[in-house]
Amino acid sequence: MSKIPITPMEKMSCMLTSFLLLSIVVLTSNAELVKKTYIIQMDKLAMPNTFSNHLEWYSSKVQSVLSKSLESEMDKEERIIYTYQTAFHGLAAKLSQEEAEKLESSEGVVAIFPETKYELHTTRSPTFLGLEALHHHSTNKIWSEKLVDHDVIVGVLDTGIWPESESFNDTGLRAVPSHWKGACETGRGFRKNHCNKKIVGARIFYRGYEAATGKFDEQTDYKSARDQDGHGTHTAATVAGSPVHGANLQGYANGTARGMAPGARIAAYKVCWTGGCFSSDILSAVDKAVADGVNVLSISLGGGVSSYYHDSLSVAAFGAMEKGVFVSCSAGNAGPDPASLTNVSPWITTVGASTMDRDFPAYVKLGNGTKVTGVSLYKGKNMLSFKKQYPLIYMGSTSTSPDPRSLCLEGTLDPKKVSGKIVICDRGISPRVQKGQVVKNAGGAGMILTNTAANGEELVADCHLIPAVAIGEKEGKELKNYVLTNKKATASLAFLKTRLGIRPSPVVAAFSSRGPNFLTLEILKPDVVAPGVNILAGWSGVIGPSSLPTDNRRVKFNILSGTSMSCPHVSGIAALLKSKHPEWSPAAIKSALMTTAYVHDNTIKPLRDASTAGSSTPYDHGAGHINPTRALDPGLVYDIDPKDYFDFLCTQKLTPTQLAVFGKYSNRTCNHSLASPADLNYPAISVVFPDKKSISSFTIHRTATNVGPPVSKYHVIVSPFKGAYLKVVPDTLNFTRKYQKLSYKIIFTSKSRPAEPEFGGLVWKDGVHKVRSPIVITYMAPI
């Protein structure tokens, strides 16, 4: 195995593994502590008989490599940060570079990886998803009193939780499930009584964060599960918030806010702090959550993409999956760039973001009479109206070279020029709400936020501190042209509250990260999309809705956008499915979500992409938009067990040492049962035509499990492709009992080799169920 990586690229890509993990902080040659953490995996089965337990062995291992002349006995004891023992195994300790290298070559050490920093991927949705009827309609009682979602526990790894939020009221909930082994850790601002029958557990993980950044100020950052950021409260409420009538953000989005699984329980694992989220803390949280007894993990954060065995979250999720825990992660907010996904492992459900049929319209009326439509969540005393026109100014130019003033960055606006005027600001570099603060500080009367090419016509509403309207790129160009060619340009702003029934919807969000999954083209990602734009949910009581330190407003609910918001939608629906089908594996739940997803909007046209205004593809929306009502009864599922995932890893050209990260403790070896990665029993189908001219045909396989009526007959329908013929054998599946498994194969024969990937689908129908798999065919240029 190579020496411990120290280059910047390796610091970003190398991470933890899955079993024995040791977080290590490097010391400089003069023994000064460098705030850098490493994660070490060891083989727990290699422990000599002379040790009574693994902690004793790990401690001995660490102390055997310490620079004894530099360290005191107390320092040796302080080296240990964490121990891991459920989804993976090991501990965390502080070591110098030299000590870490010694430990790497020591018996029983599987791998060593540097710490990685993760970032957060920062209601109408239950109604939009059809859950309102499910929870209330008399014919759907199975989703109410008969549904034991009370016994499902969702672990939310995030910034903590605000326990006083009405979304966490436990009225009507039964006793905490007996299988729950979690704890309610206390700290500043968080007492035992802050946990209840809704918030059943709360833990904090900060040692990796402190090792990397130094001890944080406990007076400015709660060293407890209390949420100071708001993000964790928002995601937890989206997953399983109790119904709250009259919820709104300053009058916007008024209605009943409820989580996807309002009867499910929440366990808050605080892994993110003011300076970020660190992999050793995340690992410890996953390990504890699995031991505590969670059924679902909701993780709205990411840290880039690296090889499966180098990705700490991937390895942790693999361990959780082996224990039967469903793991849902956000896809990232790096769209619309291609191959911008994070959290792409096949055992993780990767969630992209889409819009809903609700909007918050606002208008800009120009002095020449032109009216431009935009969005805003502004509400304040200084509500600009159509009755008064204000001078309009844009500090940029028609030049293609960037101008910091056009972006309204801190310190770039001259108060003498912008005071009393509406300022046009381009999106980019700084947060949208911060631009408004810059305009306000410079004396501006209002702001018009214009999209750039990266955002297209997608509009995201914000709770600005100044009268502000966001508009699309096309209107933005016309607006700037009006200002730059008219010395007396004026405008007024108007805010029109909430509008429902928006068409078309859903639309794939421009910011939602896209495929293909460049780690493995045969694993289509994202898996699904879910509501992630302008989502209303609970909020922290110590931070304003804009999250700016200058924002003194306090709200009970906030509206946010991001794949961070779409991920908990899927986590909550997974909790509902788990409660209805407790015997289902994580893969079966994912299959139900994917094969029942829809790919047409409310105008009965193909889903659209906000960044292009054209049709989206499976690289954008995966299998489609989640459809909870159909996912309850999918008819068939494509199941995958841990061994199948390991067999998939065997197709990824990993070394035995790299494979050991996933298979060390199950004595797994590669038996090459999968001819290619495309043979993994994944609900989506993605194939790559080889670059050899001699190969004009190949075959992949799938196995469907009947979870519908015992006697069922399914017929297949396959969409045509220009570059290949597809033949499904057999084309009929005759099931005679529930849980029966039947296999089929798909034979691909090339006709031509289009330059671009082709998209289509395969559907099994029995007259009631439609089990759809997206198909992507990539054609490699022949040699």
Q: Could you tell me the CA-to-CA distances from 165 to 152, 227, 734, 766 in Å, in that order?
A: 21, 11, 51, 45
Query: Residue 315 region, left (φ>0) first, then alpha (ψ -120 to 50), else beta?
Result: alpha
Tokens read off for 371: 């009216």
Helices and strands (DSSP H and E) totals, the chain: 19, 40
Region of 420 please: left (phi>0), alpha (psi -120 to 50) or beta.
left
H helices of 581-679, where? 586-595, 618-621, 628-631, 642-649, 656-663
With helix as H, strand as E and coil as C, how does 243-257 read? Answer: CEEEEEECCEEEEEE
What tokens appear for 552 in the block? 């003194």
Which of the residues are catalytic?
Answer: 158, 231, 564
CA separation (Å) from 591 to 26, 288, 326, 540, 586? 43, 27, 12, 35, 9
Strands 301-302 and 117-120: antiparallel
Label residues 128-164 b or e (16+ Cβ within 10 Å = b): bbebbebbeeeebeebeeebebbbbbbbbbbbbbbbe
Residues 6 or more apart whose Cβ sits within 8 Å of residue 474: 457
Closest residue by Cα to residue 90 from 115, 110, 105, 75: 110
Dihedral angle sign, alpha carbons of residues 305, 307, 311, 314: positive
- Rounded Cα gap, residues 526 and 351, in angstroms: 6
Q: Rounded to an integer, what distance in angstroms lies between the CA atom of residue 417 and that of residue 103?
A: 62
β-strand 252-257 against 276-278: which pairing, if any?
A: unpaired
238-277: burial string, b at 16+ Cβ within 10 Å, e else: bbbbbbbeebbbbebbbbebbbbbbbbbbbbbbbbbeebb
Q: Where are the alpha helices (DSSP H) in 404-487?
A: 415-418, 432-441, 473-484
Q: Are 68 and 115 in contact (CB under 8 A)?
A: no
Nearest to 645 by CA among 590, 604, 581, 577: 590
Q: How far, in Å, CA of 475 to CA of 483, rounded? A: 12
Q: Between vectors from CA 517 to CA 633 and to CA 611, what angle results, nearest 5°?
A: 85
Please report, in angstroms and rounded to a whole number, the separation of the first and last CA atoms in the chain. Answer: 34
Q: Which of 430, 383, 432, 395 is nearest to 409 (CA)?
A: 430
Residue 598 near residue 529, CB atoms below 8 Å: no
Q: Tell me the two tokens of residue 339.
A: 């191959």
Q: How far apart are CA 572 and CA 518, in angstroms?
A: 28
**Count of residues for the chain?**
783
Structure tokens belonging to residue 546: 């804009």
- Count the neighbouring beta carbons within 10 Å of the beta carbon of residue 300: 32
Pairing of the two strands 296-299 and 153-158 = parallel
CB 579 within 8 A of CB 152: yes
Rg over CA atoms, the chain? 27
Q: 254 φ, ψ to 5°? A: -65, 135
The first and second tokens of residue 437, run together, are: 């603060």
